[in-house]
A and B are shown apart, each in its own frame.
Chain A
Amino acid sequence: MSAPGRTTRRIVSIFAKGNVDIRDSLLWSRVGGVLEWNGINEVLRERHSGVVARIKHETCTRLDLIPLPGETPLAPPESVARRLPSGSHPIDRQHRTAMFDAPVDAVVLSLQSAATNALVRHRRDGWLLLPDELESWDAESRAYLASECEYAGLAPIETVLDRLARLVAAIEERLQAHVLVYNLSPLTPGERTHCWLGAEDSIGLRVQRLNLGLADLSARLGFSIVDVDRIVACAGADRLKVDLIHLTAEGWQLVAEEVVRILDERGCFDVRPDT
């Protein structure tokens, strides 16, 4: 029972594993130091005033690198993590997650890392690494990378989807949490290709294939898709998109509203006896 005069609040705990799309929609979007969107709780305040989202956010090097419970990932040794710059993806955390450390109501993931993040592989030991913000690395670090590692590229789509299927199963089994996965809008403003003769898949085509695979996986496993592709298409990419990944503040708000809609549909805001 609540104390007199105190408002009863339902706290929804969310583990959000992803990068800019996850952070800018659920937490905040800041451009040039100016706060442009203040995250999912803005939507909740308006639509579900008794509910607050408590979000634990973790960046995601790539979906297929998230270790499942009991797995020992093949990660770069500590000495490498110490000597190389990290960028937004600290090397010692690239193969780790706190996802399974505590119970949550929902886990939110995104296809973004699988769509865009190309990795390097250590030639001798085989571990993978995301050399984030490589353009800012010093010459010595670059030389190490060139001599010790080789380009491993993007993950095959089948590998990503297989790994995601196992991850969803593990989340549902270990955490009994709802799983939401963001897809991506494949549009890059201004890009217009009518013939792909001799060309490899563009990032836009790769996103379309991933989105289609994600829908198929959702049909089999029952997790929810936050359909960023549809949200952008409905309002218009000219209005909502800045580049392949970044949306305008209005775009992030619409994505956050869709997350709230899905969580509500899944019963995450229902009042429980213990609240």
Chain B
Amino acid sequence: MPRNSSTSLSSCIVAPGTLNTPVVWGAESSATWEDLATGNIFHYRADDYRGRSVVLTTIDPFAAIAAMIQLDGVARRIVLYPPDLLFEHLAFVAETAAADFIVTDQPVPEAISSRMECIVPCGRKAAGEDVVSHTHNRASEFKTEWVLLTSGTTGLPKLTVHTLASLAAAIERKASASPSIMWSTFYDIRRFGGLQIFLRAVLTGTSLVLKGAKESTADFLARAGAQGVTHISGTPSHWRGALMSNSAHRIAPQYVRLSGEIADQAILNQLRLQYPQAKLAHVFASTEAGVAFEVNDGLMGFPADVLAQNPCVEMKVESGTLRVRSDRTAVCYLGRERQPLRDGEGFVDTGDLLELRAGRYYFAGREDGIINVGGLKVHPEEVEAVINRHPHVSMSLVRMKKSPITGAIVIADVVLKTPQSFPGGATQMQRNIMQFCRGELALHKVPALINFVPALAVAETGKLSRRYA
């Protein structure tokens, strides 16, 4: 059923029946969707947010969920700032999003708190408290912009604008809630893959089990199994971690979903063996392109005719990369000097290179050389810029190496200024450069291995020769 684009998230909360009231389960607490929609985390000041731009950055996922439900249709813009993102980007994001408020449960740097109001969410509805439902008497509803962050070339995040309609367009709505389904995800719900699962659960009135930020994979799987999770999603790297945790048997899902990275045949086979009863799906989706399609045949890549199968999602391969046009793609990037997100015909270039072999397309890496480490993007240029600041380094080339654990990992070829004369020998210098990078970069961006090379090939363009794909 196509959703009415003027409908806000709170108006979709399914009223609990007498049985099987859907619940959100966290590592330490739980709440019903209705609790989250009506317990006012904004100190009953929801009207203050009407038409405003709000950045959500809380460690507590319940506060984030409550804020998303209560702000959609009220705020002009909701920015989802994942808790694992370096806090130093907060000022840039807040400025780019023209933020009026920051909702956070962490101490905020004074440079930000002196410029805009930081709201500490006041938690859940207290027992006996009168619930003032602000969700049913809205004078006018905003078509709220939902802003998700993705990794940018310069190291600053890119702000990608969606609407609830574009985020939810791939979700099949049912006339009544499905009490037999219980969703879960390894993703944080502030990232596109996790947000999709959160929206599936809230819009279809099903229960949801969230992984705690500090919860081990084994503990999470044990808890998810005990709750009776039936549908669960993660990146191939999440799933490899689950298989290695020796706790994969703790869940018995009916539906296992992979997204965010290329699913190789090994992980698909492993999951088929582990969960023979489950429907196994790998989904092609990205923050910019939205949810494009789902592959259910248990084989890596996808049949060529998938491109023409869904009338709602137009797809084509041009200059080797997959292009997508649909009402599920993001609308635009925020900020100055941003390139257009769609081309003149409305297609989003995913940048994912495809190879056609015997009627099936296979992913062959990224056109722009982005390295995908366990679902997190790394731009080689950003890492090179840091390595090149090391006092002993002349130049560097950062590239991808396949990893059986995280899909890909970052390695670097480095040319030293004076190769023969660095103190402590090669091993010491490698460790020294890595240590330098750890001080400047998120850990997944730090090269796992550094090779010292006498020179790097430079192409006729004057740029480093990169072999992408």
Do the two chains belong together in a single complex?
no
